Amino acid sequence: MPEIQGFKNIRIVLVNPSHPGNIGAAARAMKNMGLSSLALVEPEDFPSPVARGRAVSAVDILEAASITSSLREAVKDCGLVIGASARSRRIPWPVMNPVQCAQKAIAGCQNNNVALVFGREDSGLSNEELQLCHFHVQIPTGKDYTSLNLAAAVMVICYELRRELDSVEGKTELEEDEYWDVEKATSQQMEHFYAHLEKVLIKIDFHDPENPRQLMHRMRRMFGRIRLDIMELNILRGMLTNTEYHIKKNHPGSQANNSD
């Protein structure tokens, strides 16, 4: 596989956004996910302190944004153009979901400039603008309310780009065993623990080996599910030991009632 170039050639294009807050929030979403190239087509109110406020630490993306007067101009150097589309159009166009969009964009950006295009807050992209796109991407929604906020849509698409890039770069989340701070208990340590537990449960008259009613079975299932680490095991062993000590001291013999 050729070396992955990250998001170098991927551009987020906002067509005719009316609310500067959405431009700022889109820039923040981009920077959160590691993207940097923003193009604005005829923004209604830009630059704007509202956009800067919502961008927080992504003001650099706003300052570097390119501004054009048409989508055609914003994507003229792009070999792959994907447009966000909420609705089905009269003439069907090849449609992708956000995962497919991210795969196509990450693969495509190795040798091409790639544009991901988002339309107006109220009316999306025009039919003419949608026809400048090779593909359309639709974000799945529930039935009752299908219109996403512009910055929310940018967030979802950028999130899937991040996931896809992490995936092709071979980055996977750490498994619990890799990030856990304490070694897990071994089988033998657990067997000693179960023996200790059973001994104490008998002493406190909670458990009758002649009529076990699956108690130890359930305890094994429970502790098996949580996979104790050694520190947790030692804490539990300490509790059992102290329990034994207090039984001996205060209740010689087995006086306590079985509370089961």
H-type helices in 117-205, by residue range? 127-130, 150-168, 176-179, 187-203
In the numeric block, which tokens belong to residue 22? 């959405």
Taking the complex as a whole, the smallest distance from the CB of residue 94 to a second copy amounts, in Å, to 6
Distances (CA, A) of 143 to 76, 90, 119, 157, 201: 36, 20, 21, 20, 55
Instruction: Specify the residue, 69 or 123, whose C-beta has the smaller distance to a second copy.
Output: 123
Taking the complex as a whole, the smallest distance from the CB of residue 222 to a second copy amounts, in Å, to 14
CA-closest candidate to residue 107, choices 54, 51, 62, 164: 164
Taking the complex as a whole, the smallest distance from the CB of residue 150 to a second copy amounts, in Å, to 11
Single-letter code of the amino acid located at 210: E
Taking the complex as a whole, the smallest distance from the CB of residue 217 to a second copy amounts, in Å, to 22
Tell me the C-alpha distance between 58 and 52, whole Å: 8
Instruction: Specify the residue, 73 or 169, whose C-beta has the smaller distance to a second copy.
Output: 169
Q: Where are the beta strands (DSSP E) in 119-209?
A: 135-137
Instruction: Supply φ then ψ for residue 204, to 5 degrees.
Output: -90, 15
Instruction: Specify the residue, 144 or 210, whose C-beta has the smaller distance to a second copy.
Output: 144
Instruction: Specify the residue, 89 or 221, whose C-beta has the smaller distance to a second copy.
Output: 89
Can you name the residues that pair with 66 across neighbouring β-strands? Answer: 39
Taking the complex as a whole, the smallest distance from the CB of residue 207 to a second copy amounts, in Å, to 27
Instruction: Specify the residue, 1 or 91, whose C-beta has the smaller distance to a second copy.
Output: 91
CA of residue 196 relative to chain centroid, distance: 42
Instruction: Supply φ then ψ for residue 116, to 5 degrees.
Output: -110, 115
Taking the complex as a whole, the smallest distance from the CB of residue 16 to a second copy amounts, in Å, to 19
| Residues forming the site for a second copy (CB under 8 A) | 25, 28-29, 31-35, 54, 56-58, 88, 91-92, 94-95, 97-98, 138-149, 151-152, 155-156, 159, 162-163, 166, 173-174, 176, 179-181
Instruction: Specify the residue, 58 or 201, whose C-beta has the smaller distance to a second copy.
Output: 58
